[in-house]
Structure 1
Amino acid sequence: MLRYEVQLRFPATNNEAEYEGILTRLRLGKALGAKNLHIQSDSKLVIGQIKEEYEANEEKMQKYLKLMKHLTWEFDKLEFAQIPRGQNMTADEITKMASSEEGSTRMEFDMEIQKRPNIKEVLAFAVHSINSWMTPIVSFLQDGNLPQDAKETKKIEKRAARFTILNDILYKRGFSMPYLKCVDEEEAKYILEEIHEGICGDHAGPRSVVSKVIRTSYFWPTM
C-alpha cells in the first residue's frame, strides 16, 4: 500500500478537495506507469459528475471535470466508484493527517505541498517561459522540435527522457520521489528565499535547503 499525503495550502471546498485528490491519484498513477486505474471516492456528487450522472453547474466544477477528463487519456482503462464513507477510512485518516499542522513534520508518508489549485488559469510555473532552460525540452516533448546541430539534438533527446508534461507544466521524473515541478531562474530564487529565510523554515545549510526544495516538489538544473 502506497500512502501519499497532499496538503492544500489554498482555500478549497470539500468538492474541490475531492477533485484535487482524484487529480493527484491520476498523476501518481501515470508516474508509476499504471495503464489501468480503479479510483474510489466517498463523494457521491463528484463521482456522479465524473460518470455524467450529475451535471456540473458551477464554473470551478466544470474546470475540474474538464481537466480530469483530459488526464484520463493517459490510461487504457479507468474506472470510478463511489463507496460508503465507512469503507474509505484509511484514505480519510491520511487526509486528516495531511490537513493537520503536524502532518508536514511527520515522515511516515510522502508529503506534497500544493500551493495552487490545478485549475488555476494563470499558473506561475507554466512551461511557456521565454528563453528558459525548459524551452528546448518543452519544444521537443510537445512538438518534436530539435536543433539542427547533431550534438545538441542528442543532448536534448537524452535529457528530455527524464521529463514529462502534465497539464501544461514541465515535471522532472523521479524514481523514489514525486514528480518535481520545473521552474526558471527567477522562480527558483523566490523558492530559495521562502525556504531559507521565509515561511518554510529557519536558516539552514545547502544540503538541507535542497532537501526541502525536493520535498516541496520543485526542480531546476543548478539545484
Structure 2
Amino acid sequence: MALDMNIQELLVIKDSDLLINQVKENWATKNDKILPYVNLVQRLSGRFKSIDFRHTPRAQNDFADVVATIASMIQHPESTHIDPLEITLKEEHAHYAHIEAEPDGKPWYADIKAYLEKGEYPPESSAN
C-alpha cells in the first residue's frame, strides 16, 4: 500500500523483536517458513528512499491492538476501495466523558480530594 501511494519514507513499528531484527539482518532467520517473508520485506525495503524498522513492546502497543481488533470486526465490501478509519485523539481519558456531576455540582471525587488535602470528611458522614 505504501508503494502504491508513492510513500518515500516509511517507519514500520512491530511488536515482534525477532522479526524486526531478522529484517534488519541483525539476527539470522532460521525458520524456513518465515524466510520468504523476511526476504520479501528486505527486497521491498529497497524501493523506499528511507525505511526504518522499530520494535515496540506489546504492552506499549495498546492503540495498535485496538485498531487491529476493530479492523478484524469490519466486513469489507467486495471492492478494492475501503473508506479510511478516522481516529481522533482526545485530550482526556474517555471515562471522564461518562462521569456526570453530582447534584451538588461538585465532581464525584470532591470528597476524596477534600480529605486528602485537608483531612476533612463529608458533612453527612458518620463516625463509622
Structure with the larger strand share? 1
2:8 maps to amino acid: K
Give the equivalent residue in structure 2 for 1:7.
none
Given residue 56 of structure 1, which amino acid in structure 2 is its aligned partner?
Answer: T
Q: In structure 1, what is the equivalent of residue 78 of structure 2?
A: 213
Structure 2 match to 1:91 = 64
Q: Distance in 2 between matches of 1:29 and 1:215?
A: 15
Match of 1:204 in 2: none
Name stretches of at least 5 consecutive residues in structure 2 with no aligned partner: 83-128
After TM superposition, list the pairs within 5 Å mapping 1:22-171 onto structure 2: 28-99=1-72, 103-105=73-75, 111=76
Secondary structure of the structure 2 residue equivalent to 1:214: coil
Deviation at 1:86, TM superposition (A): 3.1
% identity of equivalent residues? 27
Give SS of 1:31's match. coil
User: How far 1:31 sits from its partner (Å)?
Assistant: 2.2
Structure with a larger share of its residues in helix: 1
Look up the equivalent residue of 1:213 and give its one-letter code: E
Which secondary structure does the structure 1 equivalent of 2:25 belong to? coil
Deviating runs (4+, > 6 A) in structure 1?
none
Q: What is the SS of the residue equivalent to 1:57?
A: coil
Q: Distance in 2 between matches of 1:216 and 1:60?
A: 31
Q: Which protein is bigger by CA-based radius of gyration?
A: 2
Q: 1:215 offset after TM fit, Å?
A: 4.8
In 2 relative to 1, CA 216–57 (structure 1 residues): closer, same or farther, beyond 3 Å?
farther
Distance 2:43 2:12 in 1: 16
Task: Tell me the distance in 1 between the aligned counterparts of 2:80 and 2:5.
Answer: 18
Count of equivalent residues? 82
Residue 32 of structure 1 and its aligned partner are, at CA, apart by 2.1
Computed over aligned residues only, the root mean square deviation of the Cα atoms, in angstroms, reads 2.1
The 5 Å alignment of 1:168-207 reads: none
Residue 78 of structure 1 aligns to a residue whose secondary structure is strand
Q: In 2 relative to 1, CA 57–216 (structure 1 residues): closer, same or farther, beyond 3 Å?
A: farther
Relative distance call for 1:35 and 1:215 in structure 2 (3 A) is: closer
Query: 2:78, 2:9 → 1: CA distance?
Result: 31
